[in-house]
Amino acid sequence: MNSLFDDNARLMGWMRVEAALARAHAKLGHIPKKSADEIGAGTSKVELVRVLEIEDEIHHDLMAMVRALSEKCGESGKYVHLGATSYDIEDTALAITMRDAGGMLRSRLMGLQDILGRIAKEKKSLVCVGRTHGQHAVPTTYGMKFALFYEAIGRQAALLDSAIRQISVGKMSGAVGTMATFGADAFKLQDLVMEELGLESAPISTQVVGRERHAQMLFAIASIASILDKLAKDIRNLSRSEISEVAEGFAKNQVGSSTMPQKRNPHKCERICSLARIVRSNCAVALENIPLEHERDLTNSANERFIIPQSFILCDYMLKQTILVLENLEFFEGNIKKNLELERGAILAERAMMALAEKGMGRQEAHELVRTTAREAAKEKKPLKEALSQNKKVSDLFDGGELDKIFDYSTYTGKAGEIVKKIIK
């Protein structure tokens, strides 16, 4: 991913567009075919150091490339950049880079989704505590937890696909988008260039392609980063000492702390959460780039040199780290079971309430009975099943065997197994 955005790749991208422009001119009879061939050959002879040398003198990066390429094309150099403005080249080359980088992210996403699907299937029957507001709620399964992320990654892939389509657009439309410098064949020329580069022609533009396209891509990346943030945060919280249901893999010689030898910190997940903040902030900058003045100003240019490469590179890294975490994730089933029983059956209060309602007690009355009984049981550190069995209204409706079934954690996960199977399928 880094190599797509380095200075040399940027230079090669610009020259690739220049060569396509020359070939389009030649096909339309605007310049000799021999000149287009010489320009194409010249792109392999230009060195970055020469471009930077010219840029130091003229303070214009794209024009520095044009001069360096022209130097390598002899008489044909006069046809380099014919009719084009800087952003005909820069935006078209950037579209190629962002399209290719988006494809790389998509491949990583699919790899991550495969791992999530495998874990969801493996753990589809592993019952655990569900938590809302940081409190124990009702039972769920680890299959449900990972199927949730499996499905979310599928939606992120669809969002990314849409962003890739939006960004895969280039332009040859000149200084304000009117195509005035390209003459009568302007539409044909633009289409020929984009066809060679595998892009769509922008239907209309100013001096630049509309920045909402770039913002959409950075939003898709930020959305992916936020899903990874949520997954990493869940793992971090579940690996707390007092919960300790899962943990990042820990190498034999790995050190958790410089001063506390016993520590096993979830540092990879913390890193993922940390980097997500940068990626999301870059999306805000991309949105600020949309309202450029009139046919364009330059306020997008400097920041895009940071936010676009950085967002792709960080998201790619976060995906790699998340895959690494999941491939080595440890489950502590003893602690999972212990946490299920931590509140002595209180997490099955909902089930008890519904069972009372099914026996004919009003739903609201059942809710109040179980609520007050659960509070008393918690105060006395007594199992909820025991407290309910001592309530005459309950004992009149249930025998001991029925209460045992009500307070079996493993049978109160609803359609979790079917949901996991359906989602993965």
Q: What per-residue string of b and e applies to 103-137 under the rule 16 or more CB within 10 Å gives b?
A: eebbebbeebbebbbebbbebbebbbbbbeeeebe
Strand partners, 247: 330
**Token pair of 26 as six digits:** 């030649």
Catalytic residues: 133, 257
Which of these, 157, 74, 169, lies nearest to 112 by C-alpha position? 157
Strand partners, 127: 141
Collect all residues with Cβ–Cβ distance below 8 Å to 124 and sequence separation of at least 6: 141, 142, 143, 147, 416, 417, 420, 421
